[in-house]
Amino acid sequence: MKAVPQRRRSRALPLAVGLFALGIIAARLPAQTPKPVRKDYTDADVMFMQGMIIHHAQAVVMSEWAPTHGARHDLQILCKRIALSQYDEIKLMQHWLMDRHLPAPDPLHMLSPHAGPVHDSSPMNMPGMDMGPDPMMMSGMLSAEQMRQLDAAHGTAFDRLYLTGMIRHHQGAIAMVADLFKTPGAGEQPEISGYATDIDAGQRVEIARMQAMLTTLTSSPAK
């Protein structure tokens, strides 16, 4: 998180600043100002939720490619599940942030074809799509080059790149959870606690499933 360039002015939450600067914060706060919520979170919690939204967005994009990139049938099913699950989780995290008047990244909204470039940057600058060398930043996300390779792949080649990429992506999410729980006072707010625990448990199972699929790919001739 610390590596996000603070190109505008300094704020309390470095990631939030980074996201603002990159123009991907949604101005989608509820029309009516909700009643104030007592502060039941830490900065690390906020960064976790904001970061995980971006992290998930990439997983959704990758997974939605499965039908058009000739993924094999069982992988298409898994991709559908991952896309559907993480899409819903993005919405959940956005609500959590907006309920607390915190900046909520809205990558899916931003990525609509009518959105157009914002500020001096464009959606291409979405962090994580181009995560740079800092492994602390959205750990496990694919670089632009890796995304390009995945998009260019088809059939078994896509399956292989998707599975290796998504296994690492999931491992990154698990690492983010571990980091959250290592931070003093963080991960205690019940929704975050429950949600982070779900990510840990759920994505471990999916990793196992993907590793099994990958092994069956690896044992067949690679294209």
Between CA 123 and CA 128, with CA 126 as vertex, the angle to 5 degrees is 155
Residue 182 binding other proteins, by CB under 8 A: yes
- When binding is defined by CB under 8 A, the residue of 60, 71, 97, 141 that contacts other proteins is 60
Contact letters (x/-) for other proteins, 106-145, by CB under 8 A?
A: -xx--xxx--------xxxx-x-xxxxxx--x-----xxx
- When binding is defined by CB under 8 A, the residue of 8, 95, 101, 154 that contacts other proteins is 95
Of 8-16, 47-55, 193-201: span binding other proteins (CB under 8 A): 193-201
Between residue 16 and residue 35, which ones bind other proteins under the rule CB under 8 A?
30, 35
Which uninterrupted H or E stretch holds 212? helix 190-218
Residue 216 binding other proteins, by CB under 8 A: yes
Residue 91 binding other proteins, by CB under 8 A: yes
For the bound state, the minimum distance from the C-beta of residue 43 to other proteins, rounded and expressed in Å, comes to 13
Cβ atoms within 10 A of the Cβ of 183, count? 14
For the bound state, the minimum distance from the C-beta of residue 11 to other proteins, rounded and expressed in Å, comes to 18
Burial class (CB in 10 A: 0-12, 13-18, 19+), 36: exposed
- Those residues with Cβ within 8 angstroms of residue 117's Cβ, 6 or more apart along the chain or in another chain: 123
Residue 161 binding other proteins, by CB under 8 A: yes
CA 102/CA 45 separation, integer angstroms: 11
The residue type at 165: G
Residue 76 binding other proteins, by CB under 8 A: yes
Cβ atoms within 10 A of the Cβ of 33, count? 8
Residue 194 binding other proteins, by CB under 8 A: yes
Strands (E) in 19-170, as ranges, are 25-26, 104-105
Of 8-16, 43-51, 214-222: span binding other proteins (CB under 8 A): 214-222
Give me the residues paired with residue 118 across strands. 121
Of 8-16, 48-56, 195-203: span binding other proteins (CB under 8 A): 195-203
CB 46 within 8 A of CB 102: yes
Q: Which is nearer to other proteins, 3 or 13 (CB)?
A: 3
Residue 193 binding other proteins, by CB under 8 A: yes
